[in-house]
Structure formats: structure tokens, C-alpha cells
Amino acid sequence: MKKLRYLDYYILVPYLILIAIGVVMVYSASAYWIQNQYGQAETSVMIRQIAFAVAGFMIAAFFYYFKLDVFTHPRAQKIMWIATFGLLIYLTVLSHFRPSAAVNGATAWIQLGPIHIQPTELAKMTVILYLAHMFSSRQKTLVDPDFTFKRLSQPLLMVGFCILLVFFST
């Protein structure tokens, strides 16, 4: 509970307002259509959206209380990069060898039963966490007058390869 004192209400309140607006927009856009098209209750889609909103809020609360230093550990970053590259390569192979897996022309999703995973979102988080850690740990060498871009070649190659995989997989 000690961490609640540091909660930024300028972020929390707009987040909750946007969730509420999203639920209302989903209801207003789908209520008439779902009743006429499928004969279901007009609130069925709204209830599903509320369930997803609550789940998202619970995940956000979990990460608020989670110790994020775990993501700066080199082993955790290596696991994230391996998972990201593996999933993106899988999507690239899937889009070329099984075009029937495309949904609305895109093969950006991996279906695991009732759950759909979009590896490009994992790629974004991996790149952001990696670059933040890399720039903060090499801060003194970046402002050094003898700085060369050779020192950035490894991070730039990793991020560039990740971006190429994202473009080729979708």
C-alpha cells in the first residue's frame, strides 16, 4: 500500500475515463447490429468489453506493483529477444507458407485456442525496454567526445532486424 502514495492520478483518471468512453462506444456501435444480426441481447458485446476492460485494469495494477528491475536483467532481456525473434520469424514463415491463416489480409496474430497473440506488441515492448536499458547503462559513453557509432552498431542491428521482421511478417 506504500506505493499507492506515488500513484499518478493525472494518468489514472484519463485512463479510467477512456475505458468508460470505450465501453460506451462499443455499446452504441454494436447494440442494434448484434440484436438484429444474431438475435442476441444488445448488451452482450458491452458486457464482454467490460470484462476485457476489467482484465486490462487488473493487468495494469499487477504491473504497477510488479518490480520492473527484472526486465533490466541481461538474462531476462535475452529471453525477451529470443521470444520476440522466434514469434516474428514464425509469423513470417506462416504468412509465406500458409496464406490461408490471414485474417482480413494480415497474418499478425497467432491463435492459441481462445486467445490471440500479436507478436508485434511484444516486439515494441522488447525494443523499448532494451533501448531504455542500453541508453541508461551507457550514458557516460554516449556523451564522451570520443564517441563513435560503432558502439551503437549491435543495438541498431538488433532493433533493425526486429523492424524488418515486423514488416515482413504482416
CB atoms within 10 A of CB 163: 13
The answer to whether the CB of 120 falls within 8 A of the CB of 170 is: yes
Asked whether the beta carbons of 48 and 30 are under 8 A apart, the reply is: no
pLDDT digits (tens, 9 = 90+) for 39-93: 788 888 889 899 999 999 999 888 888 887 787 788 888 899 999 999 888 888 8
Q: How far apart are CA 156 and CA 168, in angstroms?
A: 18
Cα–Cα distance measured from residue 170 to residue 166, given in angstroms and rounded to the nearest whole number? 7
How much is the CA Rg of the chain, to the nearest whole Å?
21
What is the pLDDT confidence band of residue 147, given thresholds at 50, 70 and 90?
A: low
This prediction has a pTM of: 0.67
CB atoms within 10 A of CB 165: 20
Which residue type occupies 116? H
- Residue 127: name the closest of 158, 149, 167, 90 by CA: 158
C-alpha cell at 25: 462506444
**pLDDT score recorded for residue 95:** 76
